[in-house]
Amino acid sequence: MGTLLVLLIVALALAGMPLFAVMGGIATVAWLTHPDPAYHYVRFLAPDVLDDRFAGSPILVTIPLFTFIGYLMAESKTPDRIVRASRAFFGWMPGGLAIVAISASAIFTMLTGGSGVTIVAIGGLLYPALRKQQYPDKFAMGLVTTGGSLGLLFPSLPILIYCLVAGIDFTKGFKAGVIPGLGIMAMLGAYSVYVGIKAKVPRDRPRLSEMAKALWLIKWELVVPIIIFGGVLTGTAGLDESAAVAALYTLGIELFIYKDLRINKDLPRVTLVSMSLAGAIIVILSMANALINYVVTERIPESVLNFMTGLGLTQTWQFLITLNVFLLIIGMLMEGFSAILVAVPLILPFASKFHLNPFHLAIMFLLNLEIAYCLPPLGLNLFISSFRFNRPVTTLYRQVLPFVAILVVGLVVVMYVPKISTVMVDPEIRAARAATLPGQPPREAWLLECVQLDHNNPLPCTPEDIQKYGADGQKLAGAGMGSETARPEPKGAQADAGEPSEDQLLNEMLGAGASDGGADAETPSEDELFKEMMGAGTDGGAPDAAPGDTEEDKPPKSEDDLFKEMMNAGKGDGG
């Protein structure tokens, strides 16, 4: 019955049922048809929706605020002023305004960490401007839909969360994303130039006088990003607080300075439409979290990944392809932060097995998220853009495909040329190796070179280091400069004996000094060790009973006697 209900929901989704209903319906059916009757309760449907991680998130406040700002500007003459300024500064370039849209979207996503907010605020503002400058509708819609995912590779909240979950230094993670992020933007910019030339978008001659006039014309709008970015970057205000100030400022300039909107006629309409969109986005995110709760509880991602890796993957390139397919699926089914929290712990053991660089893995993961947000049929940005621009979501599939193809090409390049992701971190790896004492393994460098499951015991990953230090990194540990031997041999051991195991070291430590001068005494049991520890040193090592007495003849000791022996251990008998 559960399977039939899920198939019915999928069929309704293909027929046009809203996304929130699809996600909520699947989550409800999944829980209420769970094999364990203990899960057949409503309280399991949305535990992550009402807790502080979601309900208390400042993102829920910024979504309606940025939506309101975007609609205020879109309904006024701000797009006209931006078009004029863009033509003045970039009109002489082919694809100039499209390049502006790419850059603005990347910066906005970098600071907000949310692709949906970028589509609403930046896409809603620049789409009319792109159309006014005669860019093709398919290109303009695909650009603003895809632009929402740009910026995840730059210093942003998603990459910070990834670094925290993966246990890597976030400052180095920020450095690793700079070159891949700029490369993706350059590829999209080149495509924009191509479309600008092909579509014969009008180009103007660069004139300084027109640039000055256009800049003065949009002087009030230029303060909006300064309010938002300035508060966040300087730390004087949070994102939600900056968004509130920016919304109030935008309302003031549109109503009382430009007077493009009227309080009685335009403001109620703009408020109603913007809040309807913001509510729809929040409902989608809520239902997505309800579905994620079931996915995580049932360990579905782990099962999928184990199935994919259980097909006989033995080569790194095979694992990379499998990994990226898995991440694309996860990225389409989950919102970004949830995908990071769920998928990263699952892929780290496999990445460690194949000796992947942690920063290379981070960039691949986040670039997969960028693609998954826009990938038909379930990319989250497609649905947000569909709401924002009142388009059927199916019509957006073909419009985003050229941009998705460019992102996929970028992913392939990043995947098979790890140096792109690690070049900014390589100097710190070399510095870590140079700071290592002679004869000691460069463990600090290993933390930066390969994914480590145990950060207290990093292991080598390059063939040279594995051959020199062993797969466990202990082969030359403690050796002096130029020495080819391990740590000094214990007394009585053979010259070529291996290192003692952890159990042997523990037994030696517990039994040190209690034996007969190094004789091969039998290892005492746990009970005997406990008795020796409790009675150590109370009588200079003499037996507890007189000669001839047996254990049975000794009276049992009370808890007080044992406590006194423990407190007096080692006193008055020379230790």
User: How many other CB atoms are found less than 10 A from the CB of residue 134?
Assistant: 12
Question: Taking the CA of residue 162 as centre, how many other CA atoms within 13 Å lie in the half-sphere pointing to its CB?
Answer: 32
DSSP of 344-398? HHHHHHHHHHTT--HHHHHHHHHHHHHHHHH-TTT-HHHHHHHHHHT--GGGHHH
Residue 277 Cα distances to 66, 141, 168, angstroms: 11, 18, 37
Q: Highest-confidence range of 223-227, 236-240, 490-494, by mean pLDDT?
A: 223-227
Please report, as a single letter, which amino acid is at residue 501: S
**What is the band of 194 on the pLDDT scale with cuts at 50, 70, 90?**
very high
Ranking 84-98, 182-196, 253-267 by mean pLDDT, the lowest is 84-98
Ranking 1-5, 35-39, 547-551 by mean pLDDT, the lowest is 547-551
Rounded mean pLDDT, 467-490: 56
Query: 122, 71 in Cβ contact below 8 A?
Result: no
Query: 150, 209 in Cβ contact below 8 A?
Result: no
549 CB-near residues (< 8 Å, 6+ apart): none
Mean pLDDT of the chain: 76
Alpha-carbon distance 16 to 381, whole Å? 17
Among 448, 413, 450, smallest CA distance to 434 is for: 448
Tokens representing 434 are: 């140079």
Residue 230 Cα distances to 57, 316, 480, angstroms: 21, 44, 54
Rounded mean pLDDT, 209-213: 89
Query: 374, 381 in Cβ contact below 8 A?
Result: yes
Alpha-carbon distance 451 to 449, whole Å? 7
Query: 255, 261 in Cβ contact below 8 A?
Result: yes
Ranking 156-160, 344-348, 465-469, 560-564 by mean pLDDT, the lowest is 560-564
Alpha-carbon distance 32 to 39, whole Å? 7
Ranking 51-55, 67-71, 254-258 by mean pLDDT, the lowest is 51-55
**Is 0.85 topped by the overall pTM?**
no
Alpha-carbon distance 172 to 428, whole Å? 9
Number of H helices, E strands in the chain: 28, 0
pLDDT of 387 reads 83
pLDDT of 546 reads 43
pLDDT of 564 reads 61
Please report, as a single letter, which amino acid is at residue 528: E
pLDDT of 509 reads 54
Query: 328, 377 in Cβ contact below 8 A?
Result: no
Alpha-carbon distance 412 to 417, whole Å? 8
Residue 492 has pLDDT above 90, yes or no: no
Rounded mean pLDDT, 468-488: 56
Residue 525 has pLDDT above 60, yes or no: no
Which of residues 92 and 285 earns the better pLDDT score?
A: 92
**What is the band of 421 on the pLDDT scale with cuts at 50, 70, 90?**
very high
pLDDT single digits (tens) 248-276: 999 999 999 999 999 998 999 999 988 88
pLDDT of 412 reads 92
Tokens representing 203 are: 């180009």
Among 564, 80, 206, 120, smallest CA distance to 386 is for: 120
Question: Taking the CA of residue 460 as centre, how many other CA atoms within 13 Å lie in the half-sphere pointing to its CB?
Answer: 20
Rounded mean pLDDT, 190-199: 92
Residue 259 Cα distances to 72, 262, 270, angstroms: 12, 7, 15
Tokens representing 557 are: 């000791």
Query: 292, 338 in Cβ contact below 8 A?
Result: yes
Query: 110, 151 in Cβ contact below 8 A?
Result: yes
**What is the band of 17 on the pLDDT scale with cuts at 50, 70, 90?**
confident
Residue 304 has pLDDT above 70, yes or no: no
Reduced 3-state DSSP string for 543-568: CCCCCCCCCCCCCCCCHHHHHHHHHH
Please report, as a single letter, which amino acid is at residue 479: A
User: How many other CB atoms are found less than 10 A from the CB of residue 40?
Assistant: 11
